[in-house]
Structure 1
Amino acid sequence: MKSVNLMEKFGQVNGYWRPHLVAEANGQHVRLAKLKNEFVWHSHEQEDELFIVIKGTLTVHFRDRDEIVKEGELLVIPKGVEHMPEAQDEVLLVNITKAETTHTGDTQSDMTVKIDEMPRL
């Protein structure tokens, strides 16, 4: 048991849309990522996804609307809901999801980081 300084860990995150594992609890991954520009449309058929915005403003596009998530806010995306995150400026994000969940969900793209290749902080 040791506390984790999130801002220090964000300083070690390389690249955008590339999650880094910072902690694990109860079969969940706590991942840090820096975001900028558009991601890919995807969904997670078997699990919800939790986004916590530490810095910046994140727009999450859904097929029927957009949701703005500001610094200090969180958003839970229910399983099976297709979405595409976008950040006009850099966003620092904490993502909490099941350990076996790939950040691009059911979509494979050149942005997909395999779980076993995810950097650990």
Structure 2
Amino acid sequence: MVIDPINFKEKLSLFQEHWSPKVIGEMNDYQYKLVKVEGEFVWHSHKDTDEVFIVLEGEMKIAFRDGETQLCKGEMYIVPKGVEHKPIAETECHIMLVEPKGVVNTGEASSELTAEQDVWI
């Protein structure tokens, strides 16, 4: 059994790429993923699950077809299942995602930003 805590800063130092979530833990059927974001992602939705965004460093916004929400360090937002959204960060932002195992980062959308699943760091 691992008894050391998971250090976000240490885990974030292990990768540089953007829009490529890395799994740092699992609880039941949910995964905790760290991701560095910068620029604009693709419009997408997750028809079967909500998606939690927790900002660890920086700022980002999540655009919706009828508005947007701005997130800063220490804030979180839950995108309801089925809601089309597009994450955007003008400068690099570090976030944690909480979502069920097997969720594709681009949902149903096909994109060059679709990341490999289940990559642990």
Corresponding letter in the other structure for 1:105: G
Structure 2 unaligned residues grouped into runs of 5+: none
- Report the TM-score, using the length of structure 2 for normalisation: 0.95
Which SS does the other structure have where 1:107 is aligned? coil
Which SS does the other structure have where 1:50 is aligned? strand
After TM superposition, the structure 1 = structure 2 runs for residues 1-121 of structure 1, keeping only pairs within 5 Å, are 1-115=3-117, 118-121=118-121
Q: Distance in 2 between matches of 1:107 and 1:25?
A: 27
Deviations 1:30-87 (A, max 9, x none): 1000000000000000000000000011110000001001110000000000000000
Note the aligned Cα RMSD (angstroms).
0.9
Task: State how many pairs are aligned.
Answer: 119
Structure 1 unaligned residues grouped into runs of 5+: none
Among the aligned pairs, what percent are the same residue?
A: 34
Check the 8 A contact 2:20/2:116 in 1, yes or no.
no
Q: Distance in 2 between matches of 1:119 and 1:100?
A: 11
